[in-house]
Structures are given as C-alpha cells and as structure tokens.
C-alpha cells in the first residue's frame, strides 16, 4: 500500500476546508494519530494486516470535514451520523477512487464496515470474524485518541456549553449506572454537560484489546479527564469515586463494590 499517496490525497482533500477552523485541524491531527494507533494494535495481534488497519484509521473520519462545512457541528444528533456519511462519500459517491488504491473486494468490505461501525454503540451483527477484528481495532484506536482530544480541546467547545453550565452540572443516574455496569453510555442517557465527560471516560470499559487498555492507561489522558474541576459538590464526589475505581478490572471492581456495600450495611 502506498501510504505516502494516501497521505497526499488526504491532505489535498482536507485542504479544501477552512484550515483556520480549529475543528478541521483537530480532525486532521486525530486522523493521523488514530491511523498509527490502529497499526500498533494490529501489530500486537499478529496476523492482522497492519497496512489495512492503518488505512481504516486514515479514512475513518473522512465524513467529519463535510459535516463541519454543511452543519457547523460535530454533534451527529444535530446533523448526520458522521461514520455512515463518510462511508457513503467513499463507497457510494466515489471518493475512495481518488486514493487510487489497489484493494481486493474483501479489503474494501473490511474498510467499509470498519468505518461504518467505528462510532456505533455496538458493532453490527453478521460480520465475519476478520471483519469484526478490524472493526474492533479501529474502534479501540479511535477511543484511545478521543481521550487525548478531550484533554487537548476545551470541553466547552466539544460539548458546546458555557463554563458555568459545565462546572455546575450534575451526573445523571442513568449515566452513573452505566459506570457501575462498566459499559459505554448510550447517547439517549446523556442529559447534562457532565454526563458527556463521564460518557467519554466510560469508553475505557469498551476497549477490546489488552494493548489498547495499556496504551490508554500509560498516556494518562483518562486520569486527566478524571481531574474534572466541577463546582458541584455531588459531582466532585462522583469523580473522586471514579478516580478510585476506573482502572480496576471488572472482577476486582465487583469485589470492591461488594466489600463497600457490606461495610455500609
């Protein structure tokens, strides 16, 4: 695979968008980091095609740029599902042809299902084991870098809220339950600005591969998110609880909860 060619076409494509828009720069930088992370994860598995994993990373957010131009937001709920939108641009509107890649039909299929599923709450059913693997590689790589993005970019910009709204927000019961269950937070559960912070932290629980969890922990961005400076006393207590439990394995966490509940009663 001609990586230099892919990078050049990607840069040409993104150059048509407003380079002064921080949202555009954010997604360009995010793209290159996700591609490298996907390659690293694929390499750790053995047998996975590192080039194909890298390509999935390079093209996974291609729909974001047109989303920003047309809708002026990254919020899918207020615009379009960016994963499906990007896959449609590539595979239905011919954007993939600009990259002049010599891909087999199987590789194209893997690329498309990986892009379409990278932001889904759950990967679609009916995929082959190989397709499922590349979906998980890309989803892990994307989540790992989302932690960085949420630290490097003011949360007010990401969630489109004021500082006062963000710092005073509570955490909803449904979102807390997702944390207790060690699972991702569905979009329809999020009601407050702080819910979005917790939802991004909960992505830790969805990381599939051991190396993904290792990278996320070593980078330190999750711990930085957990230092969220809330002005709400109840929210402060909740984030303190998460700091003490976030990296516990599920069994260890359950034992911790059982012991804590027993001591209370």
- What average pLDDT score do residues 158-184 get? 95
167 and 249 belong to one structural domain:
yes
Q: How many alpha carbons lie under 13 Å from residue 23 in its C-beta half-sphere?
A: 19
- Please provide the distance, in angstroms rounded to a whole number, between the alpha carbons at the two ends of the chain: 61
111 and 192 belong to one structural domain:
no
User: For residue 263, what pLDDT is reported?
Assistant: 64
**Cβ neighbourhood burial of 125 (10 Å; 0-12, 13-18, 19+):** exposed
Span 196-244, pLDDT tens digits: 999 999 999 999 999 999 999 999 999 999 999 999 999 999 999 999 9
- Per the structure, the complete domain to which residue 51 belongs is given by 1-151
**Cβ neighbourhood burial of 240 (10 Å; 0-12, 13-18, 19+):** exposed
Residue 265 pLDDT greater than 60, yes or no: no
Residue pair 115/132 in contact (Cβ under 8 Å)? The answer is no
Q: SS3 of 40, please?
A: helix
CA distances from 25 to 11, 33, 103 (A): 11, 13, 28
Write down how long the chain is.
Answer: 265
Q: What percent of the chain has pLDDT over 70?
A: 98
Average pLDDT value for the chain:
93
147 and 221 belong to one structural domain:
no
Place of tokens 């998460």: 242
User: For residue 69, what pLDDT is reported?
Assistant: 87
108 and 158 belong to one structural domain:
no
How many structural domains is the chain composed of? 2
211 and 200 belong to one structural domain:
yes
47 and 124 belong to one structural domain:
yes
- The Cα–Cα gap between 26 and 242 comes to 28
52 and 167 belong to one structural domain:
no
- Residue 21 is part of a domain; what is its CATH number? 1.10.3210.10
């Amino acid at each position: 695979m001609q990586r230099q060619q892919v990078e050049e076409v990607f840069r040409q494509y993104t150059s048509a968008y407003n380079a002064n828009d921080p949202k555009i720069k954010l997604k360009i930088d995010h793209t290159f980091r996700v591609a490298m992370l996907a390659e690293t994860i694929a390499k750790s598995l053995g047998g996975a095609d590192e080039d194909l994993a890298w390509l999935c990373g390079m093209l996974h957010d291609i729909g974001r740029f047109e989303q920003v131009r047309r809708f002026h937001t990254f919020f899918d709920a207020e615009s379009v599902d960016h994963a499906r939108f990007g896959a449609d641009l590539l595979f239905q509107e011919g954007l993939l042809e600009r990259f002049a890649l010599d891909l087999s039909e199987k590789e194209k299929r893997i690329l498309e299902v990986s892009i379409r599923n990278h932001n889904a709450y759950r990967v679609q059913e009916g995929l082959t084991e190989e397709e499922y693997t590349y979906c998980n590689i890309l989803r892990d790589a994307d989540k790992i870098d989302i932690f960085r993005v949420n630290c490097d970019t003011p949360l007010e910009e990401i969630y489109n809220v004021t500082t006062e709204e963000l710092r005073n927000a509570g955490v909803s019961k449904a979102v807390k339950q997702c944390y207790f269950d060690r699972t991702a937070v569905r979009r329809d559960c999020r009601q407050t600005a702080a819910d979005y912070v917790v939802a991004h932290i909960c992505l830790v629980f969805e990381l599939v591969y051991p190396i993904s969890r290792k990278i996320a922990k070593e980078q330190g961005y999750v711990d930085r998110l957990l230092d969220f400076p809330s002005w709400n006393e109840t929210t402060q207590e909740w984030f303190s609880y998460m700091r003490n439990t976030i990296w516990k394995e599920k069994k260890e966490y359950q034992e911790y909860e059982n012991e804590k509940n027993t001591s209370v009663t």
